[in-house]
Structure 1
Amino acid sequence: MSKREGLMATIKEVAALAGVTPTTVSNVLRGRGRVGTETRERVLEAVAAKGYRPNLNARALVERRAPTLALMLGCITNPFYPEFTLQANNAARRHGRFLLVCNTDYEPDGGTGFLADVAGSLSDGILVANNGDLHIDELTAIQAAGTPVVISIWESPDISPGIPCVAFDSHKAGFIATEHLLDLGHHRIGALIGSAKNGIHGGRYRGFHDALRSRKVKHIQADARFVTDSYQGGFDAAVDLLKARPDLTALFVSNDLPALGALNAAATLGLRVPEDISIVSITNIELASQSRPALTTVAIPTAEMAEQSIDLLIKLGAGEMDVPAMIRTADPVLVRRASTAPVKK
């Protein structure tokens, strides 16, 4: 036994110092039960005085559940995911849980093989951040084996994935972004879509298409590019499209990261944003406000999705019966910045 371990305080010692039972100490530390303000303060003072740290392994054995929740991400280098993870982690901590982040890096099996090992041992529940590469059958099998699974950032609120999920209206996000360009007088609008036509950003693209149709503006396939959802994907596609269609006055981009690439592509081609070409996007990551010019985008409720997903996962783990199969978030909202302007006459 190390010197540090020999000096480690026990919950019984904390309880004795505070003049309460070990159960009361446990309730204070975990935010459970009814504990008076004075008693709570006395317990926390005793915890600090003794330098007490709960034994998480022992807690897991007693409660027969892991103290962690697993979050499965497709690619941690995409700046959206750290922002989502921060909010999910904050929500998990409010529930007294730790968040185990699993970066699949777009593995062929969607990372479900790894999650099958994590489920029920290292993790008491799994939150899957939808990246368009979901393996529903495998996730269903994990769920059937007794570990709750929730899908977040689900982009099709009218279609259930068959697993509890938190969804936002991606079609409305695409519609709002395109409507903004139309209101500025743009009719020759190109599209950069960060997935296949029927992929994860398909709803955003349909929103774009429907907004044009509502104003009787024609959209042809030659004005669209379906690209990798990345900075480089947006840069390369924007260079290609703007060279091929120099008459375009605006670009609709389905996600902020390729939109930032499109901003740089316009500068590379000698085009001024927004004087020569307006660019609008969807998501509202932090970098969108820091680019030059700052990116006009449609904000999706990232924090709300993360918090509701963790709450849903906790309820499923607690065995609550009236848990919804799908939670729909608040609607996306336009955040107007400097990358869009009225069309030049």
Structure 2
Amino acid sequence: MAAAEPGHEADGGTGGGTDAGAGSGAGGGGTTTLAEIARQAGVSVSTVSKVLHDRSDVASRTRAKVQRLLEQHGYLARHRPAATALAAGGLIDFVINELASPWAGELIRGAEESLHAEGLGMVVSATHGRSRLTRQWLDSLATRRTRGAILVLPELTPAQHEELRRLGLPFALIAPADEPAPGVPWVGATNWPGGLAATRHLIGLGHRRIAVISGPPERLASRARVDGYRSALDEAGLPFDPALVRYGDFTHEPAHRHALDLLGLPDPPTAVFAGNDQQALSTYRAAAALGLRVPADLSVVGFDDLPFADWVTPRLTTVRTPLADMAALAARMVLQLLGGEQPASTRVEVAGELVVRESSGPPPVR
């Protein structure tokens, strides 16, 4: 993606997972796998992984036995942190589909601040929507000193979930494409209320022909934002017109085509609620190509409130998504799990707010 919502365009799943450490044992400097060490110690692969990752929930006698075997096979020498690095507690992996996304910087900042406050470092990886890279990251976990993971991926497949469980690695998801399996910790945004607030705002300005351009219909966020839009129309007694709804992929080009199509209708909308700020800017571009002015001829509302929303002309009215707060909450979930605690809730939705700027105004007189 050029710049998509977190997790968008990631692989649809990597299929089956291999046994933890079942490769060549390259991380240990020899050919012994973690599965073989587990067999020699008479414990599970998960227990070996917990010892390797310095998890506290292993009995001292078992830990000592496993550590001796790990030392014998060269694992611990590779995994001991340098004196100047990770002295306070190790690393947390932050895995995101696309670093090019405008979301990425805010999410990384929020997670990093929370982890650093607790003395942990963070390693950032990007999968670029490729199952091979996701597979490589999972394979590397058994031979690195990762203590937990924050995942900004569209989904966690059953095979991936099982592999993380086998490795004893605590993790949390941010903005998954659909609701994860029960018990999987995740943090999202309040998408339905955001769609409701954006559309109410436009209705309050006098608009009656309001279009919506959203993301993929299979994504939880896309559906929820459109549902909020529909609820606002229903609340105001306005008809829902399917011709005014377009689903894209949260990126620029499809949104631009959808906006041109909507504005070319015989009875075009006077306002567009865009599913994210990038789609809102694509609507700006389409309006300009047709000689329309924002907001005099067309009002536009976005979603996210990324930094550029306050820089463009006119400044964009949008629904603020507290991305850094979402990432900080996901980091705290991982820290709680590392400490042997269960989060108070495994599903947390962070409330956003409508930020009214200059891109929305009364409809034009026709």
Same fold, TM-score > 0.5, yes or no: yes
Closer/same/farther in 2, CA of residues 101 and 213 from structure 1, 3 Å limit: same
Percent identity over the alignment is: 26
1:257-336 paired onto structure 2 within 5 Å = 257-321=278-342, 323-329=344-350, 331-336=351-356
The residue that corresponds to 2:361 in the other structure is 341
Deviations 1:163-214 (A, max 9, x none): 1112321111111111111111111011111222555411111111111111
1:82-121 paired onto structure 2 within 5 Å = 82-108=105-131, 112-120=134-142, 121=144
1:68-79 paired onto structure 2 within 5 Å = 68-79=91-102
Report whether the alignment pairs 1:190 with 2:214. no
Deviations 1:48-86 (A, max 9, x none): xxxxxxx962579x99x9711111212111111222112
Give the alignment's TM-score, normalised by structure 2: 0.71
Give the alignment's TM-score, normalised by structure 1: 0.75
Whichever residue aligns with residue 67 of structure 1, its letter is G
Taking CA–CA contacts closer than 8 Å with sequence separation of 6 or more, which of the two structures ends up with the larger relative contact order? 2
The alignment's C-alpha RMSD in Å is 2.8
Aligned with 1:244: secondary structure? coil
1:317 Cα deviation from its structure 2 partner: 1.4
Aligned with 1:343: secondary structure? coil
Report whether the alignment pairs 1:150 with 2:140. no
The residue that corresponds to 2:146 in the other structure is 123
Closer/same/farther in 2, CA of residues 174 and 161 from structure 1, 3 Å limit: farther
Conserved in 2, the CA contact under 8 Å of 1:112 and 1:139? Answer: no
From 165, 185, 202, the equivalent of 1:164 is: 185
Deviations 1:288-314 (A, max 9, x none): 111111110011121211111111111
Conserved in 2, the CA contact under 8 Å of 1:75 and 1:81? Answer: yes
- Rounded Cα–Cα distance in structure 2 between residues aligned with 1:222 and 1:321: 46
- Rounded Cα–Cα distance in structure 1 between residues aligned with 2:302 and 2:182: 26
Closer/same/farther in 2, CA of residues 318 and 225 from structure 1, 3 Å limit: same
Conserved in 1, the CA contact under 8 Å of 2:214 and 2:247? Answer: yes
Conserved in 2, the CA contact under 8 Å of 1:197 and 1:226? Answer: no
Report whether the alignment pairs 1:211 with 2:232. yes
Conserved in 1, the CA contact under 8 Å of 2:215 and 2:248? Answer: yes
**Unaligned segments of structure 1, at least 5 residues:** 1-54
1:25-104 paired onto structure 2 within 5 Å = 57-58=81-82, 67-104=90-127
Conserved in 2, the CA contact under 8 Å of 1:66 and 1:122? Answer: no
Which portions of structure 1, spanning 4 or more consecutive aligned residues, are displaced by more than 4 angstroms? Answer: 154-157
1:145 Cα deviation from its structure 2 partner: 2.5
Conserved in 2, the CA contact under 8 Å of 1:197 and 1:205? Answer: no
Closer/same/farther in 2, CA of residues 106 and 273 from structure 1, 3 Å limit: same
- Rounded Cα–Cα distance in structure 2 between residues aligned with 1:205 and 1:83: 25
Closer/same/farther in 2, CA of residues 247 and 326 from structure 1, 3 Å limit: closer
Aligned with 2:146: secondary structure? coil
Aligned with 1:280: secondary structure? strand
Conserved in 1, the CA contact under 8 Å of 2:150 and 2:334? Answer: yes
1:229 Cα deviation from its structure 2 partner: 1.1
1:254 Cα deviation from its structure 2 partner: 0.8
**Unaligned segments of structure 2, at least 5 residues:** 1-78
1:117 Cα deviation from its structure 2 partner: 2.2
Whichever residue aligns with residue 298 of structure 1, its letter is V
Aligned with 1:151: secondary structure? strand
1:237-248 paired onto structure 2 within 5 Å = 237-248=258-269
- Rounded Cα–Cα distance in structure 1 between residues aligned with 2:206 and 2:218: 26
